[in-house]
């Protein structure tokens, strides 16, 4: 059955606001480029909803009843597909999607790096002292991530830690706003040597499908630039990443999750000076731009929308 895809890359903002009303932001130049890259998700005969609907948001008759796929199965995305005449694929409850995007739920499986934790107030920052990782700014740096952050948005680096003398302009205000919104996830600021991801899919019949590891390219602010298979990944790291991806998939399935998911991961400089793996720095309850690479549909996707060799069937 051919599929029609609805792509709302601001889904974390909807989940943050839910159940309050939500209106998708007007796409900017970057969103257009991201949408081009996301076409790698489409299989033969598939299409994007925005390419098909008429001025009233309706699919043409040949596409009525097509299976509707959401970038993330948010209420507004599923409604848009349904109103257009598609049949949305069963997805996860919005409460579960929201808990994943908030960053609180994935912490059930432990912090991304040793010493990481959730901070709810300025008093919690006392726990964020020196750490053993040889980061880019020594052993004092930390990275803070707000709930519902994505693509570099809602992330701030504190390269000298949280002592008053180390804070720079805007740091105090950013932290105060973060605590007012529920807190931040803190982890030591490590020296990242290799950005990775692995993807999977929880099918409606309970079957769990796990893809291959991918290498990600990002800019200094964390914006995705491209993905390709991680062919040269250390075999031990590859096995650990695959095991974590499968375990997270089973964990999500037990909580009632259905659909695509992904883990971001990275290789970093260990205290000994060697290399170590963080097998789960992010858990995404949605598609990702590297998902088609991870699931073997194509061999490369880049932000400019060009694709590498299409993987053999």
pLDDT tens-digit series, residues 144-194 = 999 999 878 899 999 999 999 999 999 999 999 999 999 999 999 999 999
pLDDT above 60 for 310: no
Average pLDDT over residues 279-294: 97
pLDDT above 50 for 309: no
Q: How many CA atoms lie within 13 A of 135 on its CB side?
A: 21
> For residue 267, what pLDDT is reported?
98
> For residue 241, what pLDDT is reported?
98
Average pLDDT over residues 108-130: 95
> For residue 313, what pLDDT is reported?
31
> For residue 136, what pLDDT is reported?
85
Q: Start-end ranges of CATH 3.30.470.20 in the chain?
A: 191-302
Name the CATH architecture for the domain at 191-302. Answer: 2-Layer Sandwich (3.30)
Mean pLDDT of the chain: 94
pLDDT above 90 for 24: no
Average pLDDT over residues 196-201: 98
What is the torsional sign of CA 130, 131, 137, 142? negative
Average pLDDT over residues 137-144: 91
pLDDT above 90 for 82: yes
% of the chain residues with pLDDT over 90: 86
pLDDT above 80 for 116: yes
**How far is Cα of residue 154 from the mean position of the Cα atoms in its chain?**
13
> For residue 109, what pLDDT is reported?
95
pLDDT above 70 for 308: no
Average pLDDT over residues 35-60: 95
- Measured distance CA(309)–CA(313) in Å, rounded: 12
pTM (predicted TM-score): 0.94
> For residue 209, what pLDDT is reported?
98
Nearest to 52 by CA among 1, 11, 2: 2
Average pLDDT over residues 71-89: 97
**Burial of 113 per CB tally in 10 Å (0-12, 13-18, 19+):** buried
Confidence of residue 306 (pLDDT cuts 50, 70, 90): low
């Amino acid at each position: 059955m051919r599929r029609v895809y609805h792509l709302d890359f601001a889904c974390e903002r909807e989940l943050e606001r839910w159940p309050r009303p939500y209106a998708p932001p007007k796409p900017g130049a970057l969103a257009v480029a991201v949408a081009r890259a996301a076409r790698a998700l489409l299989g033969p005969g598939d299409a994007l909803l925005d390419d098909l609907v008429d001025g009233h948001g309706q699919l043409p008759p040949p596409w009525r009843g097509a299976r509707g796929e959401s970038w993330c199965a948010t209420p507004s995305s599923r409604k848009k597909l349904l109103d257009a005449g598609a049949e949305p694929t069963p997805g996860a409850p919005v409460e579960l999607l929201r808990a994943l995007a908030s960053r609180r739920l994935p912490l059930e499986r432990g912090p991304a790096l040793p010493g990481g934790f959730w901070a709810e107030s300025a008093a919690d920052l006392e726990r964020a002292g020196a750490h053993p990782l040889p980061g880019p700014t020594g052993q004092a740096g930390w990275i803070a991530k707000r709930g519902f952050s994505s693509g570099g948005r809602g992330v701030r680096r504190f390269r000298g830690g949280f002592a008053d003398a180390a804070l720079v302009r805007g740091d105090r205000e950013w932290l105060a706003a973060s605590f007012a919104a529920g807190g931040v996830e803190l982890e030591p600021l490590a020296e990242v040597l290799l950005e990775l991801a692995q993807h999977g899919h929880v099918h409606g019949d309970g079957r769990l499908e796990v893809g291959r590891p991918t290498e990600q390219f990002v800019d200094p602010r964390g914006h995705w630039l491209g993905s390709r298979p991680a062919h040269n990944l250390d075999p031990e790291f590859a096995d650990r990443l695959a095991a974590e991806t499968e375990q997270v998939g089973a964990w999500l399935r037990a909580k009632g999750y259905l659909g695509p998911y992904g883990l971001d991961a990275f290789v970093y400089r260990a205290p000994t000076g060697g290399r170590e793996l963080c097998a789960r720095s992010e858990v995404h309850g949605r598609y990702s731009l590297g998902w088609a690479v991870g699931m073997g549909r194509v061999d490369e996707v880049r932000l400019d929308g060009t694709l590498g060799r299409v993987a053999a069937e």
